[in-house]
């Protein structure tokens, strides 16, 4: 489960990206049911710049005659600007993310947490191409989004934080007054200051 908490300046950009991949997953799964073509074919067709798909959604839906399945889970792809793609990719791999080579190239690394939550690490020039004349934020100095996601236990949250610290991230806790047996969370900043919020809550 993923919560995306956005600053007002970031809302317009991220709104389109958060829900973008629902139709792509649906596109691939529907086509593969009646096709011998491989996943790689469709990934090459769509390419790592998946964002362009949003601009041509009607064309793809018409071409493949897609009808939305309201029960299909939404895939979330959070986009982070990074200065050093290789170093950032390694950092997220140390945290337990897996790199999806099909959605990665010299401009971006697609880091997969599970079947629904992914982080796209984008070099600044590539990130800039999606935000028109706005500037890429220096996330070491400013914050526009806090990406919260749930883990299975408080211990898992602590382990995530320890792995981040061991690999160059910055980790701290915001005092909420909630007893640890009811919930636990951390603020985890990556090498560029992008912030994740791993958390656990008793349900």
Domains and CATH numbers, the chain: 2-19+74-201 (3.10.180.10), 20-73 (no CATH)
Alpha helices in the chain (DSSP H): 8-18, 22-33, 39-46, 51-55, 57-64, 85-95, 124-128, 154-166
> Rounded mean pLDDT of 63-71?
51
| 200 or 8, which is more confident | 200
* Residue 40 in this model has a pLDDT that exceeds 80: no
147, 173 contact by CB (below 8 A): no
Tell me 135's DSSP state. P
pLDDT of residue 50: 42
Q: What is the mean pLDDT of the chain?
A: 77
Q: For residue range 115-148, what is the model confidence (pLDDT) as tens digits?
A: 999 999 999 999 999 999 999 999 999 998 999 9
| Token output for 37 | 């073509």
Spatial distance between the Cα atoms of 20 and 119, rounded to a whole number of angstroms? 13
| 1 or 136, which is more confident | 136
* Residue 52 in this model has a pLDDT that exceeds 80: no
* Residue 47 in this model has a pLDDT that exceeds 90: no
Q: For residue range 184-199, what is the model confidence (pLDDT) as tens digits?
A: 999 999 999 999 999 9
* Residue 5 in this model has a pLDDT that exceeds 90: no
CB atoms within 10 A of CB 169: 23
Helix then strand then coil, % of the chain, to nearest 5: 35, 25, 40
| 175 or 48, which is more confident | 175
How many angstroms from the chain centroid is the CA of residue 116? Answer: 9
Spatial distance between the Cα atoms of 70 and 23, rounded to a whole number of angstroms? 11
pLDDT of residue 107: 97
pLDDT of residue 110: 97
The set of residues, in sequence order, having a beta carbon less than 8 Å from that of 184 and lying 6+ positions away, is 154, 157, 158, 178, 199, 200
pLDDT of residue 195: 97
pLDDT of residue 41: 38
* Residue 108 in this model has a pLDDT that exceeds 60: yes
| 69 or 100, which is more confident | 100
pLDDT of residue 72: 67
The set of residues, in sequence order, having a beta carbon less than 8 Å from that of 16 and lying 6+ positions away, is 51, 54
């Amino acid at each position: 489960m993923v919560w995306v908490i956005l600053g007002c300046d970031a809302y317009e950009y991220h709104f389109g990206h958060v829900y973008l991949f629902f139709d792509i997953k649906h596109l691939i799964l529907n086509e593969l049911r009646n096709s011998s073509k491989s996943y790689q074919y469709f990934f090459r067709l769509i390419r790592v710049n998946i964002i362009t798909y949003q601009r041509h959604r009607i064309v793809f839906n018409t071409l493949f005659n897609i009808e939305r399945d309201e029960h299909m889970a939404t895939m979330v792809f959070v986009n982070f600007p990074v200065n050093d793609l290789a170093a950032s990719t390694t950092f997220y791999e140390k945290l337990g993310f897996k790199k999806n080579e099909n959605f990665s190239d010299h401009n971006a690394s697609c880091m997969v947490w599970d079947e629904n939550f992914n982080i796209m690490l984008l070099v600044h020039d590539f990130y800039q191409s999606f935000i028109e004349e706005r500037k890429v934020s220096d996330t070491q100095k400013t914050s526009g989004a806090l990406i919260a996601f749930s883990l299975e236990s408080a211990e898992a949250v602590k382990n995530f934080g320890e792995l981040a610290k061991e690999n160059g991230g910055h980790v701290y806790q915001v005092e909420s007054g909630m007893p640890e047996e009811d919930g636990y969370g951390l603020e985890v900043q990556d090498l560029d200051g992008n912030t994740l919020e791993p958390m656990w809550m008793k349900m």
